Amino acid sequence: MSDVIYLDNAATTAVDPRVVEAMLECLGPSGDYANPSSVGHPPGRRARARVEQARAEVAALVGADPVQVIFTSGATEADNLAILGAARFHRERGRHVVTSRTEHPAVLDACRQLEREGVAVTYLKPGPDGIVEPAQVEAALRSDTLLVSLMHVNNEIGVAQDIGAVGRLCRERGVLFHVDAAQGAGKLPLDVNRDCIDLLALTAHKVHGPKGAGALCVRREPRLGLVPLLHGGGQERGLRSGTLATHQVVGLGAAYRIAADEMEADAARIGALRERLWRGLSALPGVLLNGHPTRRVPGILSVTFDGVEGESLLYALPGLAVSSGSACATTSGEPSYVLRALGRSDRLAQSTLRLSLGRFSTAEQVDYAIEAIAASVSRLRLVAPRMDP
């Protein structure tokens, strides 16, 4: 791994060594490994204290009360619990959901499941810049709309939605508001009260925490009912049964505490690296930025290289770990549905790379990436047939 420059932090991030240290304290024979539900003995109570500290750290990052935080296996589970749980619990209140075409599959597939259960879903088309305007949401609301689900930051193009405006609109209209914040939490400011968010899905591994750890932040005042997905021991206020993985939860809490402490500095440094990367790549001819130029998370850059096929470009970059614009470059090579929703043609969608920076990215890595990509793009363009007859 050390010989490959990792610029795929939107896929996942390296766990911060400080997070690793906190997690290790919960694993070994001398650590706080006990079941946090076993509060009848000291080791169990120590594990419970660790879990509750993590709950407070997660809540603090998003302006919530700790009691609102339900630990899950990640954002996918949190999204499913939010969307399916709310729609099933409140089925008598409304049978219509509004979301966007550029949501993560965790949201889109949950919505498709609701459609199979008789719920109508409106899929909003964002503008060419990836933004879903609050007015679009307002126009889509119906008398039976139960829920609006909109992601904070898009995982492919890095665009940030105006969550606060949509949240206030939903609150005024009495519609539940769910936000998938997997890519934005810890990188951009987020506050469930200020932004009127009823259900907030979170994950650890996009912000230098462990994979397999996430949370759903659920509104408490007034209390919001959900039908659980998992049944069993009744952990997490009955909303997520299963023994809590103390070390994972502690890793999530530590990652969020560090993100809260260092968000401003990280955002400034990573944002500057992203601009350095874009300046270098945009010097090439036929290069397009995907998504709004300024309303975006610091670390994600989606770039289209006209005249270059994405899989071959990835192949030609053995020293870089980046993603293509294809939904599944390994098999079908289908163009990204996100880029297509923005109006990019199949050809341009297939000529796209996502480069994503993180806390451990450096200027030297960015400069190497610029040089390597420029050389490969030029070579592949020379190989391609000329467009003229």
Partner 1 sequence: MTADDPRYGTEVRRRMASLPGVGRFDPAADVAVGRAGDREQGAEVALHCRVAGRRVTEVRFQAFGCPHFLAAASWLSERLPGAAQQELAAWDWREAAGALDVPAAKFGRLLTLQDAVRDVARNWPGNPVPSV
Smallest separation, CB 324 to partner 1 (Å): 10
Interface with partner 1 (CB under 8 A), residue from 2, 40, 331, 388: 331
What character string, x for contact with partner 1 (CB under 8 A) and - otherwise, covers 177-216?
Answer: ----------------------------------------
* Choice between 115 and 311, CB closer to partner 1: 311
Distance in angstroms (rounded) separating the CA atoms of residues 7 and 46: 38
Q: Does 174 bind partner 1 (CB under 8 A)?
A: no
Smallest separation, CB 353 to partner 1 (Å): 13
Smallest separation, CB 312 to partner 1 (Å): 5
Q: What's the number of CA atoms in the CB half-sphere (13 Å) around residue 259?
A: 31
From residue 199, alpha-carbon distances to 31, 72, 242, 264, 309 in Å are 33, 13, 21, 25, 39
From residue 64, alpha-carbon distances to 58, 195, 196, 219 in Å are 8, 11, 11, 9
DSSP 291: S
278-317: contacts with partner 1 (CB under 8 A): 307, 309, 311-312, 314-317
Q: Does 330 bind partner 1 (CB under 8 A)?
A: yes
Q: Does 375 bind partner 1 (CB under 8 A)?
A: no
Structure tokens at 189: 């400011």
Q: Is 26 a catalytic residue?
A: no
| DSSP sequence for 195-247 | TT-SEEEEESGGGTS-TT-EEEEE-TTTT-----S--SS-TTTTTS-S---HH
Q: Does 234 bind partner 1 (CB under 8 A)?
A: no
Strand order in the sheet with 287-289: 287-289, 300-305, 352-356, 323-324
Q: Does 386 bind partner 1 (CB under 8 A)?
A: yes
Distance in angstroms (rounded) separating the CA atoms of residues 202 and 91: 25
Interface with partner 1 (CB under 8 A), residue from 221, 294, 332, 364: 332
By the 8 A CB rule, do 238 and 218 touch?
no
* Choice between 121 and 353, CB closer to partner 1: 353
Distance in angstroms (rounded) separating the CA atoms of residues 350 and 160: 23
* Choice between 35 and 312, CB closer to partner 1: 312
* Choice between 24 and 383, CB closer to partner 1: 383
Enumerate binding residues for partner 1 (CB under 8 A).
4, 307, 309, 311-312, 314-318, 330-333, 345-347, 350, 380, 382-386
Show which residues are catalytic. 328
